Amino acid sequence: DELQYPPSRIAVVGAGIGGSSAAYFLRQKYGKHIQIDVFEKGEVGGRLATVDMEGHQYEAGGSIVHPLNLHMKTFVKELGLPVKSPGDSRLGIYNGEELVFHESDWFLINLLKMLWNYGFNFLRMYMWVEDMLDKFMRIYRYQTFDYSFSSTESLLHAMGGNDFSTKLNVTIEETMHKAGFSQKFVDDIVSATMRVNYCQGVDINGFVGAVSLSCLDSGLWAVEGGNKLVCSGLIYASKAQLIQGTVTSVQEKVRPMKSGGTVKLYELSYESSTGPQMEMYDIVIIATPLSKGVSDIKFVDFNPPIQNFKNYQQVVATFVHGQINASFFGCAQPCDLSDVLTTNNRKLFFNSIGAVSPVKSEAKSSKPVNHKVWKIFSVEPLAKDQLNLLFESYHAVSVKNWLAYPQYNPPEKMPPIILHDRIYYLNSIELAASAMEMSAISAKNIALLSHHRWYRKTDRIDQEDLTERLKSEL
């Protein structure tokens, strides 16, 4: 049987955090003899990227990591990358007319304001998110013990049981109502958090909504020098070969073996600077969203069993060096706010605006908060008159356009992880929630799953009651 032999070549399409961590985990699992090729049509890092403003680099895509994102934590430790915290922030929430929430310098005043406006909703939310994270953390134990899952649904179910499965099928608004949170809390705090993180409303699924709310925790961090350094570091550490080129198609081919018999391989065609090329692989991992305008890969002779190719949400990140217009937000001069989130109001042309620092730490600037560099997230590009409303004056602008994350629309049917016998889809997991750690979890799952399927080790795939079973394993 051909599959008794070890595979000799694996292709990974995409060098974002998903593809680069896949290369890293594949090397761990398959050992030093296998050839791993990572194809990238653009920049290593993908949606982890920086923009240049006046000679300084700022995070334009994935910018923050949660303290309990253990794969990301391990990566920076193994790669010896220094990390930093985003620094102090002073939060305001603007509803299009006025600030409905304005953080103060004083802890006690903030506490009283929260209690006055939202009762115990804040406290309950932190506990609710902690409960979700407790379940979320189970995946690390499963993966340490080599367990894998053949679908995103089974992976999430193993982590959080029916609680996670239900969250995928209802909105964060419904989820929070059922959990007893007030409408005012959902309209102000939950809505503002969804708008800054996913540029969508409280109609996104309850799972991604809970992931988004976890960003209100303390201890968030980023990589000094830029988060994309993790991707280049992982590719280097995995001794994978990086191939600059656009993968255009994948087709299964049957080839004779030297020892007699035949072997099934995948022919991967790609465009590089030297023209069209192709290579043969035993296993292919697609580490990019399969949606229009993002990857455009053709699968020849078969249709991947994806019912619904998701649209990705356009997000524009606009960086402005200038003096913020405090009166626009109804903020007394001098305005002390460093982050303004917004609630759902059709009149609003932006989702959030926040002061940002370069990815490389520098001596603290003596400039007042009004003269900092600001990052604005919006769904449409900002016009000049809109910038004039937000700023009293500005002297530099830099813009990055993204197809950022899926347009979430529960109930969600997750795309499959197994697209064909030995073709795996890493970004299936993004339909549950898009975040760096989600791609890394999916990468490890696929490294394990592909290995177990190759060697027919079915006792490490889709096992039930893992939490109970692992209690007895050391």
Which residues of this protein are in contact with ligand FAD, per CB under 6 A? 13-19, 39-42, 46-48, 61-65, 246-247, 287-288, 295, 297, 315, 317, 402, 404-405, 427, 434-437, 439
Encoded one letter per residue, x for contact with ligand LLCL4O7M by CB under 6 A and - for no contact, window 136-165 reads x-----------------------------
- Contact call for residues 30 and 281 (beta carbons, < 8 A): no
CB nearer to ligand FAD: pick between 61 and 95: 61
Binding at 13: pick from ligand FAD, ligand LLCL4O7M, none (beta carbon under 5-8 Å per type) = ligand FAD
- Contact call for residues 72 and 79 (beta carbons, < 8 A): no
- Give residue 289's identity as a one-letter amino acid code: P
SS3 assignment, position 73: helix
CB nearer to ligand FAD: pick between 18 and 209: 18
Pick the binder of ligand LLCL4O7M from 211, 243, 250, 355 (CB under 6 A). 211
Within positions 316 to 335, which residues make up the interface with ligand LLCL4O7M, using CB under 6 A? Answer: none
User: Who contacts 56 (Cβ-Cβ below 8 Å, separation ≥6)?
Assistant: 358, 360, 373
Peptide bond into 334 cis (omega under 30): yes
Binding at 287: pick from ligand LLCL4O7M, ligand FAD, none (beta carbon under 5-8 Å per type) = ligand FAD
User: Who contacts 291 (Cβ-Cβ below 8 Å, separation ≥6)?
Assistant: 309, 310, 311, 312, 403, 406
Q: Is 212 in the site for ligand LLCL4O7M (CB under 6 A)?
A: yes
CB nearer to ligand LLCL4O7M: pick between 19 and 354: 354
Sheet harboring 373-378: ordered strands across?
Answer: 99-102, 91-94, 339-342, 352-356, 373-378, 312-324, 391-406
Q: What is the DSSP string of 419-454?
A: EETTEEEGGGGGGT---HHHHHHHHHHHHHHHHHHH
Q: What is the DSSP string of 146-167?
A: T-B-SSHHHHHHHHHHHHHHHH
CB nearer to ligand LLCL4O7M: pick between 372 and 422: 372
- Cα–Cα distance measured from residue 110 to residue 471, given in angstroms and rounded to the nearest whole number: 41
- Contact call for residues 63 and 227 (beta carbons, < 8 A): yes
The piece of 35-43, 47-55, 167-175, 430-438 that touches ligand LLCL4O7M (CB under 6 A) is 430-438
Binding at 246: pick from ligand LLCL4O7M, ligand FAD, none (beta carbon under 5-8 Å per type) = ligand FAD
CB nearer to ligand LLCL4O7M: pick between 222 and 247: 222
| Chain positions contacting ligand LLCL4O7M, by CB under 6 A | 63-66, 69, 136, 196-198, 211-212, 214-215, 354, 375, 434-435, 437-438
